[in-house]
Chains A and B, each alone.
Chain A
């Protein structure tokens, strides 16, 4: 069933696939994000309690969801790399990693920024923010581990193992943090519930989620392309590509 995927173990085919997909990703990004962001930030109704500050959910919620989605995608790529030894799988994994880390940071930042009008404080150790913070640590660990090895295939395997250990732990961490949070509820801090999203807010939110997904896919694909070229610089197809683009490559 997965036979159609096999050609993409070769970097040349993976590069071609990236080139095919990229315009669609950018198109999707522009289409959905322009509609979603404008709708959400300008036209959607304000919350009767939180007024305008609720608009941050149009950035916070997509980035929180995608921070976890990107991690899972990274873990799947790691699994493919470890089981089938595909170089392109490890390249995909490390292409996604920093993008996922930045998205996690955006989720944290917007979550914390949302906290100021909501709870009067810049940071709160609530379950979701704490889980996001730990997720950011997991991302950083994987990127750091990858960076420490000279042989990038070896680096991919090592980082891949940690990605898999992490992906098993993400649900455990999440549920333990939620549980921890219920234990330590101070009387003065009210539990922040995900706002019941009413229809007029739901549509722009969904559109933003799709738009952000396209955006992350686009950025990851760009990173994947440059990772492929960087690692395969000595191959004839890369040399030809560089030549066609008027770039001279010196032997590294």
Chain B
């Protein structure tokens, strides 16, 4: 599909553009029946998993300001699949453009979320396990860990790309829904797989609520129940060698999600740095679409391949 849309010369020069065109083509062309009811969080996780057999394709951008360096635009694509009602698995591809520098692919992540309790409780725990293989140039800032600070990102992409990280990230997603409100708390532990590297700690917390709790009888784009607003806060908590809040960065971010009846969800967040170690502004936005019956479709396709043999 990309070959028809973008000339070869442009594809070679702008691989990221090609990837984005492919992603958006997929988002627009695939039919779907399910209307997503997504939370507005971009960093924090609540306890709701993807519906079994559904694939959610998401694109996110983060524009970040940088003191002592160039501002940047980091972006990532997420492919989130509901393997079962208690297990969601997700694959990420990350990249970034640093202004007056370059555009680089910065790595991939594979996350899995497991619902620990069958039924709803006052607090619902979900176990989150992620493996990531990223370079030091990764700037999506999906998690702020340990002693991550703004100055870590001031170097050029060429210098930052020399660092390669293989990390394991564990989170306990604690989330509660009551009277239309959702409150989520995520303690985070990260370990670079090099033995010499310490365990790093972090947190993300969020609260959100739809603008209307009752649904209107008509199908509408601008009904208040389609909008979910909230706030999230996230930051680092040091590491095993040096725990505490010194040399850590923290952000407070109002967030809004707009769930459209046409299966699309738009999210916007403006994160404000809370101390001198933080980027002053992390402006984020995301677009996602859910494809129901994706697993069944692939199953049928695999079945037909097996049948031919």
Say whether A and B bind each other.
Answer: no
